[in-house]
A and B are shown apart, each in its own frame.
Chain A
Amino acid sequence: MTNIVASLGRSTIAFILEAGSVFIMVGKVSRYLLQIWKNRKLVYEQMMVIGVQSIPLVLFVGVFAGAVASIQTAYQLKGYISYNYLGAATSVAIFIELGPVLTALVIAGRVGASIAAEIGTMKVTEQLDALESLAIDPLRYLAMPRIFSGFFMIPILTILADFVGILGAYLVAYINLDLAPEIFFGSVKEFFSLLNVFSGLIKAFFFGGTTAIIGCYVGFSTSGGAEGVGQSTIRAFVLSSALILLNDYLLSVILF
């Protein structure tokens, strides 16, 4: 019994210390946000990597998420509510939940893990020490551009995912139910609310930031060789995904 309590205590202390270290890192990085213009080249590069290069994956996921949402919603409406409301039901689901959450989860896999692997490899091969020895702060040079791009680009990717998601949903509605575009998009328009869209984008903003912050933190705390980098990659993905879902719950409670 004593051992269990001691072990629980140690884990709690370790968790609090780690959470504290993440906040300290974010605090230090935020000082460099004032130097964004000076570091615009680095920020631009990361916006390309995190944002632009993720577009094909996000479009793919968005189309199929919309298509599945359409099929599932049609199945639930069948016999109870007219299919005329299919567009409204799927679009609201895409705007407030599917768009931001699925985009963030695929970005956690593609970007969060790759940030952790890249910084982790730099750590174990002394490249971070090399940056420091050249009087360059890795938090400014590596973390700030990635975290800023994470916060900024994921909402943009979410807008794309929302757009293609609704197109995917309509395509399925047209093929399966022969639903006319004016009926589908008419109901989307009727129930369209900017609040829904912004709520989704606020979620995406926090999901993107969380993913990049966790990727950087895990990368900087990597130790050991190739095995350590592998573990960091997994850890970054698992932590980011868990925090995205936790944030989703908390933000849903706050926003709706």
Chain B
Amino acid sequence: MIHINDLHKSFGEKVVLRGVDLEIYDGERLVIVGRSGCGKSVLLKHILNLMQPDKGYILVNNIAIRRVGQSDLFFLRKQFGFLFQGAALFDSMSVSENIALPLVEHTDLSSSEIAKKVAEKLEMVGLPGIEDLRPSELSGGMKKRVGLARAIIMDPKYILYDEPTTGLDPIMAANIDKLIIELSDKLKVTSIVVTHDMQSVAKVATRVVMLHLGKIIFSGSVDELYSTENKVVSQFVKAEAEGPIQPKPIKY
């Protein structure tokens, strides 16, 4: 279980998180929605201590992730898989080297065992036989799926997805959604998905929270999300131009 308490984060004068409180329960598929730039990815990175809060704390399995030493932090991180928005594959490595890296670094498995596990994960994400390709030879959707294979290679307890379907065509997006559900069911992992793709939310989420102006303003099921009377949430869900959320005028 992950417990986020009163999380604050600013970048210079820009306040991004203004006291986020959130419980993430084991086994659920939690989707965090919100407008672009509202701090969803920042929140996700705090969970792994890739960013440090100005105030507040995060407990992972009752351990304060910010307070632990490096070896304990790395021990906790090994329980997570993180799919980055742009996949963040290492350019200098092949697909198989990318996926195998955590196994090479953290296990004593032989090369043949590692190759077998890499092939198995690539099969799971629907990309068998592409071990020798370089990231530059992959399409956007393939990169995300390779990123996902890398995220699950250590069989994590938690998988964090940062906008997994952004920039993909609808068919590829649907495939990624299907994968998220399959992985959650097969591996019994806790999934935390950050997105503003409402089609994806409807398919994937067992619970949805909405982040707005640095705070969680909604938490509930997909049905509750669509039937809420909260005008901010309703405008976002229905993708309406008129309503309480208005783009800030740009100063030139």
A binds B: yes
Which A residues contact B (CB, under 8 angstroms)? 121-122, 125-127, 129-130, 132-137
The complex places the Cα of A57 from the Cα of B105 at a distance, in Å, of 34
A137 touches B85 (CB 8 A): no
Q: By the criterion CB–CB under 8 Å, are A129 and B106 in contact? A: no
Complex Cα spacing A130 to B50, Å: 9
A121, A127, A133, A136: which has the most chain B beta carbons within 10 Å?
A133
Query: How many B residues have CB within 8 A of the partner chain?
Result: 23
Q: Of the 9-residue stretches B27-35, B59-67, B70-78, B208-216, which lies at the interface with chain A?
A: B70-78
Contact partner, A135, options B85, B90, B106, Cβ 8 Å = B106
Within 8 A of A (CB), among B71-92: 73-75, 77-78, 80, 82, 84-86, 88-91
**Whole-angstrom CA separation of A133 from B106 in the bound complex:** 13
* Residues in chain A near residue B50, CB distance under 8 A: 129, 132-133
* CB of B102 within 8 Å of the partner chain: yes
Q: Report the minimal beta-carbon distance from B69 to chain A, rounded to whole angstroms.
A: 12
Which 10 A-B pairs rank lowest in CB-CB distance, beginning with the nearest? A135-B74, A130-B88, A133-B82, A126-B88, A135-B77, A134-B102, A126-B84, A135-B78, A129-B50, A127-B88
**Contact (Cβ within 8 A) A136 B101:** yes
Which partner residue on chain A sits nearest B160 by CB separation?
Answer: A133
**Interchain CB contact under 8 A, B70 and A133:** no
Residue numbers in B under 8 Å from A137 (CB-CB): 70, 74
- B95 located at the interface, meaning its Cβ lies under 8 Å from any Cβ of chain A in the complex: no
In the complex, how many angstroms separate the beta carbon of B147 from the nearest chain A beta carbon?
Answer: 8
> Given A125-B88, A135-B102, A136-B105, is A130 in contact with B82 using a C-beta cutoff of 8 Å?
yes
In addition to A125-B86, A127-B90, A129-B50, 5 A-B residue pairs with Cβ atoms within 8 Å of each other are A125-B88, A127-B88, A129-B45, A129-B88, A130-B82
User: A17: shortest Cβ distance to chain B, in Å?
Assistant: 16
Distance A127 CA – B147 CA, assembled complex (angstroms): 11
A30 to B: closest C-beta gap in Å: 15
Which B29-65 residues have C-beta < 8 A from chain A? 45, 48, 50
A24 and B135 CA atoms in complex are apart in Å by: 33
